[in-house]
Amino acid sequence: MRLLDHRSAAASTRPAAAPAGAAGAPRKADLIEGFITGLAVINAFSDATPLLTASELAARLSISRAAARRFLITLHHAGYAATDGRSYWLTPKVLALGHSYLGSARLPRTVRPLLQQITAQTNESSNLALLDGHDVVYAARASAARLMSAAIETGTRLPAHTTAAGRVILAGLPHALQEQWLAGATLAPHTAYTVTTKKAFAAEIRAARAAGYAAVESQFEVGLRGIAVPLAGRDGGTIGALGISMAASSCPMDQAIRACVPVLRDAALQLRDLI
């Protein structure tokens, strides 16, 4: 899982083809292409495609069927996949890859107690979100007792344009990086309310920057509301977002903003000197 903060956001929006030996770009001879493809194989499994055959994987990754078959057999041999002889699916062992990040990354460990505090104060689920390309990834979370239809857990990825966290993180980036991000974005509709035009989304980013927070409703799923504020480091740069997820039916939007934004801002201020 590739999690980005403001220091690596530029890399996520940089064109993929960089000259070998260019500043900051590794030489092709130093890369293990098979390892990169192997990670892509793992990421090819999803809610929509929990089972894959060699032919399906080959089509999905634009590799040969023979290569796809070898990758799947290797994953099975290493214990990261199971098979019925035709289809393959991931095993729980894959979770260890994500836990390696959670166990080694200082930021989620530092933020978690504050998320628990936010949830205790608001009685709503809270989270730390980081920008990863055109998605946001929830790197830490504290769940409230009340249930939501959308299953947002640690490690969940959502399209950044559908989230409050995505808006405030993008609002904290330099304008040139915002433009690069928008140029490469596909603002796919997930509900009838999703903002799908780049002009309208750019306006949402500007509004989030001016307000210092973002609030969205029914962008990814009808009835799901998100409120987020930027999380800044000691240098003032935005490194992520602190947010709250709730059902839109729980209270009017303006009431939710009044209740949640001050709590989120206070937590972000406490964290600023710790990260």
Residue ranges per structural domain of the chain: 32-96, 105-272
Topology adopted by domain 32-96? Arc Repressor Mutant, subunit A (1.10.10)
pLDDT tens column, 109-121: 888 999 999 999 9
Higher pLDDT: 16 or 266? It is 266
The whole-number pLDDT of residue 219 equals 97
Q: In what order do the strands lie in the sheet with 125-132?
A: 157-159, 135-142, 125-132, 238-247, 224-232, 214-217
User: Is the pLDDT confidence value at 202 over 60?
Assistant: yes
CATH class of the domain defined by 105-272:
alpha beta
Exposed / middle / buried, residue 227 (Cβ in 10 Å: 0-12, 13-18, 19+): buried
The whole-number pLDDT of residue 192 equals 97
The whole-number pLDDT of residue 256 equals 97
Q: Does residue 220 contact residue 162 with C-beta atoms inside 8 Å?
A: yes
Write the DSSP symbol of residue 138. Answer: E
Cα-only R_g, the chain: 20
The whole-number pLDDT of residue 2 equals 36
pLDDT tens column, 114-167: 999 999 999 999 999 999 999 999 989 998 876 555 667 888 889 999 999 999
pLDDT tens column, 217-239: 999 999 999 999 999 988 888 99
- Average pLDDT taken over every residue of the chain: 86
pTM value?
0.71
105-272 and 32-96 share a CATH fold: no
pLDDT tens column, 235-262: 888 999 999 999 999 999 999 999 999 9
pLDDT tens column, 49-65: 899 999 999 999 999 99
The whole-number pLDDT of residue 21 equals 40
